[in-house]
Chains A and B, each alone.
Chain A
Amino acid sequence: MSVKTALAEIPRTIWTSIFRHSLPSSELGQAQTSFTNFFLHVHPVKVNRHTLKATYTLGLGLISFFLFLILTVTGVLLMFYYVPSTTQAYDRMLDLRGSVAFGTFLRNMHRWGAHGMVIAVFLHMCRVFLTGSYKRPREFNWVIGVFLLLLTLFGSFTGYLLPWDQLAFWAITVGTAIAGYAPVVGEKMRFLLLGDNTVGQEALLRFYVLHVVVIPLAITLLVAIHFWRIRKDGGLSRPAEADMAPGTEALSVQVMAAPIELKPAEGKQSFGLMGLVRGPFTKVGNTPENTVFSWPNLLMAELFVFILTVAAILVISLLFHAPLEEPVNAMHPPNPAKAPWYFLGLQELVSYSAFWGGVGIPGIEVAILMLVPYLDRKPGGVGRWFAKERLLANTLFVSFTLLNVILIIIGTLFRGPNWEFVSPW
C-alpha cells in the first residue's frame, strides 16, 4: 500500500474506529446498531409493537426523561451566572434578565421545564397505575418510580429558593415549617436542611448544593436503574395477546408458551445458552413474534417525543416569563404566603391541621403508593387502560388522585389574604 492511500484512508479509519457499523441496511445491521452503540444499547434489539403504541404510553416516561435532560442542560448553563449568596442571588436574577444573552429565555426554559417535569412524572405514574403496569414482575420498578416522583418534587422545591425573591423565601419558610411537624425528627430535620433556625444564607447554600448536585445525581442513578429494570422485567407492560403474531390463535400460543422445565444437574451446571429465559416469554416458544426492530422504529418514536417536548418548552418559554417578585424581605410575608403550587394541596390541609396536613396524610399517601404493588397482587388486567378486572383499584386511585388535585386547585385559586376563601372570578 502506498503512503498516499494509507493517508487517504485515515479519516475512514478514524470514523470506523468510532462507529463500528455503517447505517444498517440489513436486519443484522439493525440489530448490531442497537447492540454496539453505547447510547443505543439501552434499547432491546427488537421491541413489541404494543410498546410503540402512542395511545398506550402517551410517551409520558420519555417526556419526563427528556424534560430532565433539558433541565440539566439549562441548569448547568444558568450555574455559570448564578451565585448562591443572599446578597447576590437576586441581583444575578436581574442580570440574567438584563445583561445575559438568552438569560431570560434559559431561565424560562428551566422554570417551565421543572413545572412540566412534576406534571409529566405525575401523569406517568397515573398511566402506569391505570394500565396495571406495576404488577409482577414490575413491582420494584414502581417503587423506584415513587422515589423518582419524590426526588422530582424535592428538586423542584430546592430550586424554588434560589432566585431569593419574596415568592422563594416565604414558600420555603412555609414548606420547611411543614417538615418541622414530623414527630421526633421533624425539628432536627428542618434544622439540618436549613443549617440554621430560619431561612437564610446557610439554607440558600444547602438548597443550592442539593439542587445542583445531590438531587440530579440521585435522579440520574435511579433513572438508570428504572430503565435497566424495564429491560430486565421484560419490556414495557403489555397484554398477553400482544406477544402473539397477528392472526395466531390463542390456543397454539398456550401450547407454545409452556415454560421449559429446567432440572438442575447434580453438582455441576453448564450454561451453554447466552442466558436462561424464565416464564412464558421464551423466545423459543414465541415465534412468530409480534416485534419490530428498535432501529429505526423505537428510535423514531423517541425522537418524535423528544422534538415534541423541546418544541413545547421552547414555545411556552417564548410566551411566558418565569416569575420574579420583589427581593426577600424577611420582615414582611406576602399575604397569603403560598408554597409552590404542587404543595398547595398540602398547605390547604395544613390550614386545618398542621400535623395531619403536613406529615400524617402525606406520609400515609407515600407509604400506600410505595406498597401498591405489594397490596394489589391480583394478576390480570395488565397492559390495558381501565381494565374491567381492575375497576376497584382504578376507582380508588382516581378518587385519591382527584382529591389531591382538587385540594391543589383550592389552595392555588380559592385562597386569598389570611388564607380565607376567595373566588377567582
Chain B
Amino acid sequence: MSTKVSEQNGTRRSFFTWFSSAALFGSAVISALANFVFLKPRATYGQPSRFSIGKPDAFPSGARIAIETRRICVAREGNQIAVISTTCTHLGCIVGVADTGFACPCHGSRYDQDGNVTGGPAPKALPWYQVKLAPNGELEVDTSIEIKPGSYYNV
C-alpha cells in the first residue's frame, strides 16, 4: 500500500516537474522570439515603392535612361515603355546601363537589354517593374510589383 502511494506521488511530482520545466522553457523561447518581432521594423524609412518618373515625353524612343536614385532603368521603344531594375540580382550592386545591356561592376555579371543574364555569377534576370500612366499624365512605377519580362506598357 505504502509503496503504491509513493509511486503515485512520484508520478505526480515528475509530471509537475516536467510540466513546469516545459512552461518555463516555453516562456523563455517566446520571450526570445518576441525580441525578434521587436527588432523587425514594421515601417521602414526607405524610399516609397510607388513613385512618379515624369511625363512619357521625357523618354524619347530608343532611350535607355537610368534613374540612379530609384535604381531603375527606363527603356522606351516606339510606344512601348519598360522599367527594369538596376539592382544586380547577385549581390545588390548597381549595374551600369549600356546600349548592349547591363554590366555589374562588382562581380562581373552581365545582362542583355531585357535584363536576361548573359554572363557572370548573377542567379536570375533583372526584374521588370509595373509602370503605368497616372491620371495626371505622368508615368508611375511600382517597384513592389514585378511583371513578366517583355510585357511593355503602351503609351
Contacts and interface: CB of A to CB of B under 8 A. Distances in A.
A336 interface: yes
A396 B107 CA distance: 30
Contacts of B94: 331-333
A176 B93 CA distance: 11
B132 interface: no
Nearest to B123: A354
Nearest to B47: A198
A401 interface: no
A200 to B, nearest CB: 6
Nearest to A351: B107
A369 interface: no
A134 interface: no
B141 to A, nearest CB: 16
A196 B45 contact: yes
Contact of B93 (A174, A195, A353, A354): A174
B44 A202 contact: yes
Interface stretch (A153-161, A383-391, A412-420): A412-420
Contacts of A170: 93, 106
Contacts of B103: 418
A178 B40 CA distance: 20
Contacts of B93: 170, 173-174, 333, 337
Contacts of A195: 39, 41, 44
Interface in B60-113: 68-69, 90-94, 103-108
Interface residues of A, number: 34
A75 B93 CA distance: 30
B108 to A, nearest CB: 4
A191 B44 CA distance: 10
Interface string A196-223: 1110111000000000000000000000
B98 to A, nearest CB: 12
Most buried by B among A174, A332, A333: A333
Interface in B114-153: 120-121, 123
A38 interface: no
Interface in A367-425: 417-420
A39 interface: no
A177 interface: yes
Contacts of B107: 336, 347, 350-351, 418-419
Interface in B8-50: 36, 39-41, 44-46
A192 interface: yes
A352 interface: yes
A335 interface: yes
A331 B39 CA distance: 28
A177 B88 CA distance: 10
A201 B46 CA distance: 9
B14 to A, nearest CB: 22
A418 B105 contact: yes
Contacts of B90: 177, 350, 354
Contact of B45 (A177, A192, A201, A354): A201
Contact of A350 (B36, B44, B69, B91): B91
Interface string A326-368: 0000011111110000000001001111110000000000000
Contacts of B123: 354-355
Contacts of B104: 418
Nearest to B110: A418
Interface in A168-204: 170, 173-174, 176-178, 180, 191-192, 195-198, 200-202
A196 B105 contact: no
Contacts of A178: 91
Interface in A81-107: none
29 contacts: A170-B93, A170-B106, A173-B91, A173-B92, A174-B91, A174-B92, A176-B92, A177-B91, A191-B40, A195-B39, A195-B41, A195-B44, A196-B44, A196-B45, A201-B45, A331-B68, A333-B93, A333-B105, A333-B106, A334-B105, A335-B105, A336-B106, A350-B90, A351-B121, A354-B123, A355-B123, A418-B105, A418-B107, A419-B106
Interface of B: 36, 39-41, 44-46, 68-69, 90-94, 103-108, 120-121, 123
Interface of A: 170, 173-174, 176-178, 180, 191-192, 195-198, 200-202, 331-337, 347, 350-355, 417-420
Given A196-B44, A336-B106, A420-B108, 5 more contacts: A170-B106, A195-B41, A197-B46, A347-B107, A418-B105
The 5 closest A-B pairs by CB, nearest first: A335-B105, A177-B91, A331-B68, A177-B92, A337-B106
